[in-house]
Chain A
Amino acid sequence: MDSMTMLLGTLLIPFVSALLITIFFRRCGNAAAAISVTAAFLVAFLSIYFLYSWDGLPIHPYVSWFDLGGLTVNMGFLVDKNAAIMLLVVGFVAFWIQLFSIGYMKEDASKGRYFAGLSIFTFSMMGIILADNLIMLFVFWELVGFSSYALIVHYKDTEEASAASKKAFIVNRVGDFGFLVGIVFTYWHFGTVDLQALSLIVKINPSLVSSLIAFLLMCGFLGKSAQFPLQVWLPDAMAGPTPVSALIHAATMVAAGIYFLTRIFFLIPHDILQLILWLGVLMAIYAGFCALAQNDIKRILAYSTLSQLGYMAAAVGLGYPGLALFHLSTHAAFKALLFLGAGSVINALHHEQNIFKMGGLVRRMPLTTITFAIGLLALCGVIFTSGYFSKDAIIESSFFVDKNICILLFFAAFLTSLYMGRLFWIAFFGAPNSINAEDAKESGFFSTLPLIILSICSLIAGYTVLWPEQLSAAFLTELTDVHHLVENASMTKIFLIYGSLTWILGLGISYFFYGCGAQKDRLAELMPKLFSFLRSKLWFDEIYDFYVARIQQRVANLLNFIDVVIISGLFVRGSAGIIGVLSLGGRSLHVGSLHVYVYWFLAGLLLFSAFAFGWF
């Protein structure tokens, strides 16, 4: 197999699987599951096999896809170190999550639709990773948005899923508005949308880089990665099945925004990088606060995703796209693990998602608890776990750019362990708080195997020596640079102490403040005002709802009124009316009454003589 075949395989196998399922196996869920998981396995296998046979040099095969005038859009693959690492992460995580789905969706009536959606998602995600130009990237970018829509709406009979899917797609489209304008501007500004050509042009003539274009392209990232001010869709997207939240809304799709930024990193000037940096830092803190006031286990994890995406954005903004990719990879492992753990819990508790109705799960679901704990430790950046290596590298690098940012990121890390500790102590320890929690049983093999595999990854993914050379190339230089900086400033120990303090304090405070297996939120009892403030999430949803219902809809209704009454009514009907009145007048002249004819005759005679005698 040559590399081209393998790449085509990773792209087309999930597509074929989706087609097969929608056309033939819509009603037989088990066959659909088998096809989809096999496809996911082949994708994972092919991408890993490809990466081992790859020599690390960029590959760029393409064919012409669309020609019009001077425009040629290619369908092509550009595999470089960034794409390689994503290929591995997505291929690997997608397979384990699909495997987990078999157990999780066992009782679902529309498995066919679900697995077709997962396959089409894998197809689109592979497209984003491989795309060699902005337009092709946008194509798959939108397709990913569509598959996310289709999977969020899986439980379509609930109002919640119906609203959340709509919201997710529309908010993403708002971001894509900027993205699309940015693509058009890029095409005319640089004369091409091909990523490799763009990087060459920028290398030769760096003054071509434009803030406006970078800003517009960044809007796409804001939508897809749910950053300020377009973050509102991600918590709602938790209405979808939990494995979908794990795959799409935690590990891969939302991270595609970060990947996109690293792909176009050379197009982003300093001021936009600063903007991305601050947006990322603020999001890391904001989402941490929001998570403190959530009771739904999935929503807590969703805010944690937002916060981690903030870290990645900050890394890009700091000028370390490699570190962002490194954190993206480790995050994919431990966040997928956490979500799948949550899924395992939710399934065992018959779709109970409120952490205050759980409690004492450690005794009933030991395996889930242990793996969840590993994911949690990695997320909090406990030393020797993968999160420690990737997250602390970002925090350390920020120290040498702006010390304030470093402090803020440390604070965000503290918040992370605080809300994760709250979740962990309340849901997994103490006594069961509901009948469901009492009856909970450990999940089956298909569910626990992915948990084990992912927890191993969460533990070891941070050790760069374990990564094959072609892959670690994406982040290794930046990582060693940062380490050198830290060593030169002889701050290794200080960072280690501060880093450990954040999680020790976070987990400790949450343990003593909330207690094990609490039934009520202590913060809400002690400081109800603060709690409701945190719960309000700065009223983003309310402001947007107000805009949609009160402004947008009213303008639409007003325009509709104008359209119906003035354009259609007054102008069209009105002109018809005037002609009608005129014709009524005209008709009254020829109704056969002799009187009228006599007067008309006289009037005509008068006029005629007036002309004849030259009175005019």
Chain B
Amino acid sequence: MTHLNPFLLQLSIAFPFVVGLTMFMAGGTKKLSLKCLSFLGFAVPCLIAIWLFFQYQMAEKIDYSYAFFSNLPTGLQQFGISLKLGLNGISLPLYLLAGIVGLAAGLYAINSIAERLHLYLGLLLIMYSGLMGTFASIDVFFFYFFHELALIPTFIMIGIWGGRGRRGTAMELTIYLTLGAMLSLAGLIAIYAVSDIHSFDLITIKNYLAQSPLSYTLQKNIFGLLLFGFGILISLFPFHSWAPKGYTASPTSVAMLHAGVLKKFGLYGLIQIAAPLLPSGLGHWAYLLAILALCNIIIIGLVTMAQRDLKQMVAYSSVMHMGYAFLGIVSASVLGLGGAVLLMFAHGLSVALLFLLGTMVYHRTESYDMNSLGGLSQKAPVLCGFFVAAVFASIGLPGFANFWAEIAIFLGLWQFAPWMLYPAIAGVVISAIYGLRAIANIFFGQPSPQFKERFNQSSIQDISIKEKIPVFILLIALLVVGFWPRSITQPINQTLLDNKVEAILTAQIGVTN
């Protein structure tokens, strides 16, 4: 069975893509068969991801702990491009994350009442395929290619199926994110151009640059390009303004996949590509990056507190938590980087969960304005329970994966600058404040005057079985990692240690300082 694993990895990318294309052409067929087909498209990659996750420990590994390696020629070998796929400890959690969130988002979309459902599901499947591909690619070209494959359907879906102000938002999002992607592409091409070996293969580049590192100036400039390019995609302060608008206007499944998974592309790029290839660049930019990350935490944290709109609040909180991931990167240690990877995984699940539950609240109340709700737990106690769990996950309660990520990042941060712990950990208090306020305003107490009429008249139902399934998928993943963090930190730790990331980073940062 093990020799099939590389093939399964390819299948997890190709399968949703093919199903997605089929969906485009299947407009006339029955709803049920459409749903069944797309369900397969969502479920198969997720199952493969889970399977490969458990296979990883035993699998044969090549350089940089990549397992399930396969190399498909593309006819572009003269440019050093070929479809090399594989997973290492850094990409494995994200690949799994993409699988899980993809399935949850897909299940929610299948049961949604979107118009032209086949097109919607088709685009979502293509996005899914792109996401799986991004994290499975060893080749930098395809890493970028798959990202675009996932990004473009986002714009279309927001433009067509989005909420209030979708046209303008789709436009702004497209331009802003494309700008970010262009900058990072320029950075990636610069690495390709200056590294003399003219290969996009990450393993080859890493081996080459380990032998003959780039000059300090080159590293500094290229890292700057990547940092701000990726930074825009990750909503680094002050390049975050697209995120709240974009997520507010997105259809739920898109917001789940984008905030949960696609946004992690930039962080993944920084950890997997930028930091090990350009360690002096990281050293040069680290302090500025740390300050911006603290702005993400404190300023955006306070801005989150000022939100009245539930979806805006979730969106801002997701921007805020990205600050922690950056703080993990600047510490340039196994602890910090590992924490950042873990945070990406945990945050991806919890933010997707919050978007999902937020929409469910909206379906019952027809309002996102938290000040004009209240008392919903009387009608929907189970939904309330899930919402409480999701909020506590996102504010880092132990027992959920997020806690371990945060504590690892805090411990790593000390080595970078101990004073930063105070503002960073103050963020923990801030997130508790807005999180608990949201719960209390929506679910507890008595319904507010604006909400009373709807509350009394219509029969507001508790969460249904169909709605429960995606919630369960996300929640269980969060809890399993929260209670048994070793399950996921082991591969992360192994890869980061095997690759001697810390040694490379500290050595070169040390030289340049």
Q: Is the CB of A68 within 8 A of B418?
A: no
B303-A143 in contact (CB<8A): no
A-contacting 9-mer, from B7-15, B266-274, B330-338: B330-338
Kindly supply a per-residue 1/0 record for chain A positions 17-31, scoring 1 wherever the CB is within 8 Å of any chain B CB and 0 otherwise.
Answer: 000001000000000
Residue among A22, A110, A159, A161 with most chain B CB within 10 A:
A159
Tell whether, in the assembled complex, residue B241 and residue A66 are in contact, meaning their CB atoms are under 8 Å apart. no
Kindly provide the distance from the CB of B232 to the nearest chain A CB, expressed in whole angstroms.
Answer: 11
Contacts of A445 in B (CB 8 A): none
Kindly state the separation between the CA atoms of A565 and B429 in the bound complex, as whole angstroms: 26
B488 — nearest CB in chain A belongs to which residue? Answer: A66
Q: Are A68 and B410 in contact (CB under 8 A)?
A: no
Kindly report which residue of chain A lies nearest to residue B378, judged by CB atoms.
A157
Q: Is the CB of B493 within 8 A of A557?
A: no
CB-CB under 8 A from B445, the residues of chain A are 156-159, 162
Q: Give complex CA distance A223, B404 in Å.
A: 22
Interface string of B407-440 (1 = CB under 8 A from A): 1101111110010011001101100110011011
Given contacts A143-B398, A157-B378, A568-B245, contact A68 B339 (CB under 8 A): yes
- B369 contacts chain A at the CB level, 8 A cutoff: no
Choice from B303, B381, B392, B410 contacting A184 with Cβ under 8 Å: B410
Instruction: Check if A69 sits within 8 Å of B334, measured CB to CB.
Output: yes
> Whole-angstrom distance from the CB of A396 to the nearest CB of chain B?
40
Of the listed stretches A164-172, A300-308, A314-322, A421-429, chain B binds: A164-172
Determine whether the beta carbon of B485 is less than 8 Å from that of A180: no
Q: How far is the CB of A563 from chain B (nearest CB, A)?
A: 5
A66 touches B429 (CB 8 A): no
Encoded as 1 (CB less than 8 Å from any A CB) or 0, chain B from 372 to 402 comes to 0001011001000100100010000111000
A67 and B489: CB pair below 8 A?
Answer: yes
Q: Is the CB of A68 within 8 A of B303?
A: no
The answer to whether B216 has its CB under 8 Å from any CB of chain A is: no
Q: Tell me how far the C-beta of A131 lies from the nearest C-beta in chain B, rounded to whole angstroms.
A: 11
Bits for B335-347, please: 1 = Cβ < 8 Å to A, else 0.
1001100100000
Give the dominant DSSP class at A's interface: helix
Pick from B446, B485, B490: contact of A159, CB below 8 A: B446
On whether the beta carbons of B437 and A166 are closer than 8 Å, the reply is yes
| Bitwise interface map of B from 84 to 97 toward A, beta carbon under 8 Å scored 1, else 0 | 00000000000000
B285 within 8 A of A: no
B303 / chain A contacts, CB cutoff of 8 Å = 556, 559-560, 563
Whether A571 touches B486, Cβ cut-off 8 Å, given contacts A165-B440, A181-B421, is no
Question: B443 contacts the other chain (Cβ, under 8 Å)?
Answer: yes
Task: Judge whether B425 and A139 touch: CB under 8 Å.
Answer: no
Q: In the assembly, what is the distance between CA of A567 and CA of B244, in Å? A: 13
A103-145 Cβ-contact flags toward B at 8 Å (1 or 0) = 0000000100100000000000000000000010011101100
Which residues of chain A have C-beta atoms less than 8 A from B175's C-beta?
A: 576
- Residues on A with C-beta less than 8 A from B399 are 139, 143, 146
B72 at the interface (CB under 8 A from A): no
B302 at interface (Cβ–Cβ under 8 A)? yes
Find out whether the CB atom of A556 lies under 8 angstroms from the CB atom of B432.
Answer: no
Q: How far is the CA of A140 from the CA of B303 in the complex (A)?
A: 30
Is there contact, CB below 8 Å, between B408 and A65? Answer: no
Instruction: Establish whether residues A142 and B426, one from each chain, have CB atoms under 8 Å apart when the complex forms.
Output: no
In whole angstroms, what is the CA distance A143 to B443 when docked? 21
- Which chain A residues lie closer than 8 Å to B426 at the CB level? 177
- In the bound complex, residues from chain A placing their C-beta under 8 Å from that of B240 are 567
- State in angstroms the CA–CA spacing of A65 and B404 once bound together: 11
Interface of B is mostly: helix
Which of A66, A174, A185 is in CB contact (< 8 Å) with B485?
A: A66
Shortest Cβ gap from B495 to chain A (Å): 11
Residues of A contacting B398 in the complex (Cβ-Cβ under 8 angstroms) = 138-140, 142-143
Q: State A69–B303 Cα separation when bound (angstroms).
A: 34
A585: chain B residues within 8 A (beta carbon): none
Q: Does A511 contact B (CB under 8 A)?
A: no
Name A138's closest neighbour in chain B (CB-CB). Answer: B398
B172 near A: Cβ within 8 Å? yes
B403 at the binding interface (Cβ < 8 Å): yes
Which of B242, B334, B412, B425 is the one whose CB lies under 8 Å from A177?
B425
Count of inter-chain pairs, beta carbons less than 8 A: 153
Contacts of B443 in A (CB 8 A): 156
Asked if A68 and B305 sit within 8 Å, CB to CB, the answer is no
Tell yes or no: A201 within 8 A of B by CB. Answer: no
How far is A411 from B446 in the complex, measured between Cα atoms in Å?
Answer: 44
Mark interface residues in B351-372 (1 if CB within 8 Å of A CB, else 0): 0000000000000000000000
Cβ B392 vs Cβ A146 within 8 A: yes
Minimum CB–CB distance for B489 against chain A, Å:
5
Is B26 part of the contact surface with A, judged by Cβ < 8 Å?
Answer: no
User: Shortest Cβ distance from B75 into chain A, in angstroms?
Assistant: 38
Rounded to whole angstroms, the CA-CA distance of A553 and B412 in the bound complex is: 31
Distance in angstroms from B407 CB to nearest chain A CB is 7
The residues in B between 318 and 340 inclusive whose CB is less than 8 angstroms from any CB of A are 333-335, 338-339
Q: In the bound complex, what is the Cα–Cα distance between A65 and B486 (angstroms)?
A: 6
Which residue in A64, A66, A169, A576 is a CB contact (below 8 Å) of B404? A66
Residue of A nearest to B382 (CB): A26
**A161 — which chain B residues lie within 8 A by C-beta?**
444
Q: Is the CB of B485 within 8 A of A65?
A: yes
- Tell me which residues from 546 to 565 in chain A have a Cβ below 8 Å from any Cβ of chain B: 552-553, 555-557, 559-560, 563
B140 → A minimal CB distance (Å): 26
A376: Cβ under 8 A from any B Cβ: no
Residues on A with C-beta less than 8 A from B414 are 184-185, 187-188
Q: Say yes or no: is A153 at the interface (Cβ < 8 Å to chain B).
A: yes
Contact A567 B335 (CB under 8 A): no
- Check A556/B335 contact, CB under 8 A, given A157-B375, A572-B176: no
Instruction: Given A64-B486, A157-B375, decide whether A170 and B433 contact each other with a Cβ distance below 8 A.
Output: yes
Q: Given contacts A65-B486, A142-B397, A156-B443, are A559 and B306 in contact (CB under 8 A)?
A: yes
Does B299 lie at the interface of the complex (its beta carbon under 8 Å from any beta carbon of A)? yes
The answer to whether the Cβ of A173 comes within 8 Å of any Cβ in the partner chain is yes
B183 at the interface (CB under 8 A from A): no
Name B433-466 residues within 8 Å CB distance of A: 433, 436-437, 439-440, 443-446
B residues 242-292 in Cβ contact with A at 8 Å: 242, 245
Q: Is the CB of A69 within 8 A of B496?
A: yes
Q: Which of A552, A557, A567 contacts B238 (CB 8 A)?
A: A567
Question: Complex formed: what's the CA distance from A563 to B296 in Å?
Answer: 12
Closest approach, in angstroms, between the C-beta of A164 and any C-beta of chain B?
10
Q: How far is the CB of A443 from chain B (nearest CB, A)?
A: 29
Contact (Cβ within 8 A) A571 B238: yes
The answer to whether A68 touches B335, judged by C-beta atoms less than 8 angstroms apart, is: yes
What residues of chain B lie closer than 8 Å to A166, measured between beta carbons? 436-437, 439-440
Closest Cβ of chain A to B34, distance in Å, is 33
B150 proximal to A (CB < 8 A): no
**B428 and A173 form a contact (CB under 8 A):** yes
* A187 in contact with B422 given A156-B444, A559-B306 (CB within 8 Å): no
Task: Using A157-B444, A162-B445, A169-B436 as known contacts, say yes or no to A68 and B492 having CB atoms under 8 A apart.
Answer: yes
Chain B residues with Cβ under 8 A from A149's Cβ? Answer: 436
Residues of A contacting B493 with CB < 8 Å?
67-69
- Could you jot down 5 A-B contacts, CB within 8 Å? A67-B489, A68-B339, A556-B303, A560-B303, A568-B245
Given contacts A162-B444, A567-B240, 11 further A-B contacts (CB under 8 A): A68-B408, A69-B497, A143-B399, A165-B436, A170-B433, A184-B411, A187-B411, A188-B415, A560-B302, A563-B241, A571-B238
Residues of A within 8 A of B (CB): 22, 64-71, 110, 113, 135, 138-140, 142-143, 146, 149-150, 153, 156-159, 161-163, 165-166, 169-170, 173-174, 176-177, 180-181, 184-185, 187-188, 552-553, 555-557, 559-560, 563, 567-568, 571-572, 576
User: Which 5 A/B pairs are nearest by Cβ-Cβ distance?
Assistant: A69-B334, A568-B241, A162-B444, A139-B398, A560-B306
Q: Which residues of B contact A (CB under 8 A)?
A: 172, 175-176, 238, 240-242, 245, 299-300, 302-303, 305-307, 333-335, 338-339, 342, 375, 377-378, 381, 385, 388, 392, 397-399, 403-404, 407-408, 410-415, 418, 421-422, 425-426, 428-429, 432-433, 436-437, 439-440, 443-446, 484-486, 489-490, 492-493, 496-497, 502
